[in-house]
Amino acid sequence: MKFAVKAWSNCKARTGCIQLGNCPTAIDTPALLLSTCKGLPNFISPDLLPSLPSPDSHLLQFSPLHFLEGPSLKAISSIGGLQHLLGLHEYVFAAVARDSVQCLPECNASNKFGASFETTCGRRLIRPVEYVELISSMRPDIWASLADEVPSWVSDKRNKTSVDRTVRWLDECIKLNSTGGAIFGAIVGGNDMEERQRCALEVVKRNVSGYWIGGFGLGESIDERPALLDAVTDVLPEELPRMICGLGLPEEILQGIAAGVDLFDSAYIYHLTLGGFALTFPLNGIAEKRPDTHLNDDASDRTKINLRATLYRKDTSPILEGCNCYACLNHTKAYINHLLNVHEMLAQILLEIHNTHHYLGFFRSIREAIKAGKFQQYHQKFVEGRRNHLALPAAAITHDELIK
């Protein structure tokens, strides 16, 4: 793995490039890791992956726990790992135990032996040795060490224990590692800045290729998150990449980038797509004034539209004017509305293509702002624009509704 920082804004936000695996070109950061189920996006088939912007879409994140059922580890290893199994030789795979959709951390069932997860095949306790066996057979380009993630409301004692376990498991993962992949040391600490900093300082002492910041998206408020992020990134070396899970909304992505994070997961796109929503927010953060009739039938909050709404039954315009994704160039709101209402999976395929394309464009606009030295202005303008236009006439929209 090769990583280099290319430009800094007038804060900790930075752009860089990362070269991994067989990806033909370096990928610019900050970047989006496409969430997958067993290595493939939830609704986009391999033949449609090239329709997404390249090489921005060549970063795929998966959870090794997805493979607790299915092909045996020996079979996957004999094929040559996940890239050969899926035939995606020019894509980069990043493995993280936690999957914000299917493999959720269960702190009450974790113990000194391993981390517990709620998975599609039940609750599973994963020990470091089992986790490294999964990694060794799949051979990802990047993998995060096993972490004991806890939500924001646990006791100080439990939080401290999670840090001690995570550091100890990192040592075990490093000792057991026999892959050629880059290991990212996991950093946790819940809502305690001192514990997060203690964990980061311990992980920095280890021989790792980067850092995976865990424990976010588990109950902390958006207002207290910047201080928690800064407590970690302030002590991390600048020359190594930082990856994070649990930040999905545009405002959360901007918070992470402002703290110096380079790689983000995309479970937010999955939730939007499953709910029939399409992203429409302007990439420059300046929302256009639209008549309130556009909000009929809960169809829009001026950041996304609900294509299940009757408002779009006869709408022959594309999802978003000016968007050049496959869905917008070839189909209309009316067609996707029809597909959603008759429960055709093609609706989710087209929506995931559009939402992924739009979010990759969002990251591209952020990189451009950092290179121009205007990230802070971009961040402020984007958040103010969203704050002014997110509220519906009847009531404020909640975080849960945003990712419904």
Do the beta carbons of residue 254 and residue 227 sit within 8 Å? no
Residue set of the binding site:
323, 325, 328, 354
Q: Residue 9 has what pLDDT?
A: 87
Question: What is the Cα–Cα distance from 91 to 57, expressed in whole angstroms?
Answer: 8
Domain ranges of the chain: 2-265, 276-287+299-391
The mean pLDDT value for 34-59 works out to 93
Please state, rounded to an integer, the average pLDDT across all residues of the chain.
89
Q: How far is CA 26 from CA 31, 112, 212, 263, 283, in A?
A: 11, 39, 20, 14, 23
At residue 16 the predicted structure's pLDDT band, cuts being 50, 70 and 90, is very high
390 pLDDT higher than 60: no
List, for residues 274-304, the tens digit of each pLDDT value.
Answer: 999 999 998 875 555 554 444 455 555 678 9
Lowest mean pLDDT among 119-133, 191-205, 227-241: 119-133
Q: What is the residue-wise DSSP string for 134-154?
A: HHHHH--SEEEPP-----TTS
Top-confidence residue, 392 or 39: 39
Q: Residue 395 has what pLDDT?
A: 38
Question: What is the Cα–Cα distance from 22 to 12, expressed in whole angstroms?
Answer: 30
What is the dihedral sign for C-alpha 20, 23, 28, 32? negative
- In terms of Cα–Cα distance, which of 335, 336, 377, 338 is closest to 355? 336
Question: What is the Cα–Cα distance from 168 to 202, expressed in whole angstroms?
Answer: 10
Q: pTM of the prediction?
A: 0.91
Question: What is the Cα–Cα distance from 361 to 344, expressed in whole angstroms?
Answer: 27
Residue set of the binding site for Zn(2+):
323, 325, 328, 354
Contacts (Cβ under 8 Å, ≥6 apart) of 252: 222, 225
Residues 277, 281, 287, 293, Cα dihedral to 10°:
-20
Top-confidence residue, 107 or 302: 107
How many helices and strands, by DSSP H and E, does the chain display? 13, 18
- In terms of Cα–Cα distance, which of 306, 227, 319, 316 is closest to 274? 306
3-class SS at 279?
strand
97 pLDDT higher than 70: yes
